[in-house]
Structure 1
Amino acid sequence: MGIVEEAHNLRILGSGHRTIVLAHGFGTDQSVWKHLVPHLVEEYRVVLFDNIGAGSTNPDYFDFDRYSTLEGYAYDLLAILEELQIPSCIFVGHSVSAVIGAIASILRPDLFSKLLFISASPRYLNDVDYYGGFEQEELDQLFNAMHANFKAWVSGFAPLAVGGDMDSVAVQEFSRTLFNIRPDIALSVARTIFQSDVRPILSRVTVPCHIIQSTKDLAVPVAVSEYLHTHLGGDSIVEVMPSDGHLPQLSCPEIVIPVLLRHIHHDIAT
């Protein structure tokens, strides 16, 4: 097993002619796709991996400088596609991984036939004529809470992000994968994500994009999905689902999985 496979806990399931790459967001790992994967393996070759820094990865691989920008993750994604010799894929990115996929697609548009964004945001901070959902003071409070008592922060953040009570299976699952992350790594990754602003490069994304969004999402207001649709360089469509939470594929699979499958199977032109 090569270093890329080992570092990212790479798994390949199914044996179809077309390849789907599933990329998870902050605080989770590849297990977040457990409801979707069974619907794909008969028809597609499915690539699952963990972002470096996820609790399921070896923390020794986490380079604080490399992952201080989202480009570090984009280069990881391209390395995975190169390692597996994937000529083209359908890329499904959740949360920050949607943006990571967008960056990678600018560098190598030939490797992506379609991008599916779930709960994606190019910038979390509010700005002039832009509503990202957060003020800097709120983000500073979030970072301070993570630093002061990571376990307590997870207990409060998980139900808010998932959109459910603490007893729900989805909240417990998200809490588990959050707890698995080394606290200093989690704080570094959170800073990188929440302080990022990729709005200037959206026009350079030429691969067709399907933007899928929950009606109610603590981290990403619905207005952000419309902003993406307006500013992406290639063809795009938006679907706002009647789901609650930032991890709808985990918390509302009965709503989200049929939507995802429809977008995976259909091209924007059809």
Structure 2
Amino acid sequence: MVIQNGLSKAMNAKIIGSGEETIVLAHGYGGDQSVWDNVLGQLAQNCKVVVFDWSFSGAIKDPSFFDEGKYSSYDDFADDLVSLMDEMSLSSTIFVGHSMSGMIGCIASIKRPELFKKLVLVASSPRYKNLEDYEGGFEESAIDQLFLNIEFNFEQWSSSFAAMIAGPNDPLCMEKYEKSLKRMTPNVALHVAKIVFLCDERSTLEKVSTPCTIIQTKNDVPVPNSIPKYMQSKIQADTNIEIIDMEGHFPQLTASNDFLDVLNKVISQSI
């Protein structure tokens, strides 16, 4: 079923399947809802599944929908998420947020806790820049270079970034993500990259009251292995960590069966 009005139409929102539980799937930076293709069919057999595209996605039909002046932090995307869920009359959902969407879901759950029954944080991080006492994954100089590459060499950057993020053993995932990245305009890609790589949402974690499951792979370049334990130590709500034995940032694509096993466990525990 395609929702045909307002914000949900602009964000290509769809509800697929039926069941007592409602799962909201939110993609990350540079992606679109197709990142869930490998798991959507099985999830929709027993649940209502909501998919959508963030305003920055290249899958959005109206490029003017992304207004750079509107978005300066994850908080602004969390407002979009809350508005979308209200428009679609969703509540008490299982929210699955990949990458940047994990922290967006955390912020939205603080604003409106009744909308979320559980948070599933997939390859998510509250901060990507290293500090003396914090391993974020990137030195400041590497982040500065990333911004320069997006601005002045977007095509080549898209290819190299996709290869780094997807992992060395899944060329199909790399190709899919590269195509998705290249559907973005360079100025939008740069604007959102600055929001992502300069974010510091560590203080947000301790305000989260919704139970969480953190899904991490064994080797994820932008998210060091220390991050899930850090997040678990800061989140006050019940939080568990699930490690999937694979390399890369996209367990829903590269290890979809293992990913579904974790989600099905979360769903069964929420009934």
TM-score norm. by structure 2 comes to 0.95
Aligned counterpart, 1:216: 219
What's the offset of the Cα at 1:7? 1.3
The farther-off stretch of 45-54 and 59-68 is 59-68
Does the CA-based 8 Å contact 1:36-1:257 persist in structure 2? yes
Does the CA-based 8 Å contact 2:8-2:88 persist in structure 1? no
Asked whether 1:159 is paired with 2:163, we answer yes
Match of 1:98 among 99, 102, 107: 102
What's the offset of the Cα at 1:110? 1.0
Distance 1:246 1:48, change over 3 A: same
- Counterpart residue identity of residue 4, structure 1: L
Does the CA-based 8 Å contact 1:98-1:116 persist in structure 2? yes
Asked whether 1:50 is paired with 2:44, we answer no
What's the offset of the Cα at 1:170? 0.9
What's the offset of the Cα at 1:146? 0.8
- Partner Cα separation in structure 2 for residue 65 and residue 224 of structure 1: 31
- Counterpart residue identity of residue 215, structure 2: I
State the percentage of identical aligned residues: 40
- Partner Cα separation in structure 1 for residue 153 and residue 132 of structure 2: 33
- Counterpart residue identity of residue 137, structure 1: S
- CA offsets 1:67-94 (integer angstroms, 9 cap, x no match): 2211111011001110011121010000
What's the offset of the Cα at 1:227? 0.4
- Counterpart residue identity of residue 65, structure 1: G
Does the CA-based 8 Å contact 1:93-1:117 persist in structure 2? yes
Asked whether 1:120 is paired with 2:124, we answer yes
- Partner Cα separation in structure 2 for residue 35 and residue 228 of structure 1: 27
Does the CA-based 8 Å contact 1:88-1:112 persist in structure 2? yes
Aligned counterpart, 1:199: 202
Asked whether 1:251 is paired with 2:248, we answer no
Match of 2:136 among 132, 137, 157: 132
Q: How many residues align?
A: 267
Aligned counterpart, 2:43: 40
The farther-off stretch of 129-138 and 249-258 is 249-258
What's the offset of the Cα at 1:34? 0.6
Aligned counterpart, 1:70: 74
- Counterpart residue identity of residue 46, structure 1: V
Asked whether 1:228 is paired with 2:222, we answer no
What's the offset of the Cα at 1:62? 0.7
Query: Does the residue aligned with 1:145 lie in a helix, a strand or coil?
Result: helix
Aligned counterpart, 1:88: 92
Does the CA-based 8 Å contact 1:15-1:42 persist in structure 2? yes
- Partner Cα separation in structure 2 for residue 17 and residue 109 of structure 1: 19
- CA offsets 1:18-74 (integer angstroms, 9 cap, x no match): 211000001110000011111111211111000001000122011112222111110
- Partner Cα separation in structure 1 for residue 257 and residue 89 of structure 2: 33
- Partner Cα separation in structure 2 for residue 128 and residue 105 of structure 1: 30
- Counterpart residue identity of residue 78, structure 2: A
Does the CA-based 8 Å contact 2:118-2:212 persist in structure 1? yes
Match of 1:264 among 249, 261, 267: 267
Query: Does the residue aligned with 2:241 lie in a helix, a strand or coil?
Result: strand
Query: Does the residue aligned with 1:54 lie in a helix, a strand or coil?
Result: coil
Does the CA-based 8 Å contact 2:211-2:239 persist in structure 1? yes
Asked whether 1:237 is paired with 2:240, we answer yes
- CA offsets 1:77-123 (integer angstroms, 9 cap, x no match): 00111001112101000000000000000001111000001000000
TM-score norm. by structure 1 comes to 0.95
- Counterpart residue identity of residue 172, structure 1: E
Aligned counterpart, 2:173: 170
Query: Does the residue aligned with 1:36 lie in a helix, a strand or coil?
Result: helix
Query: Does the residue aligned with 1:35 lie in a helix, a strand or coil?
Result: helix
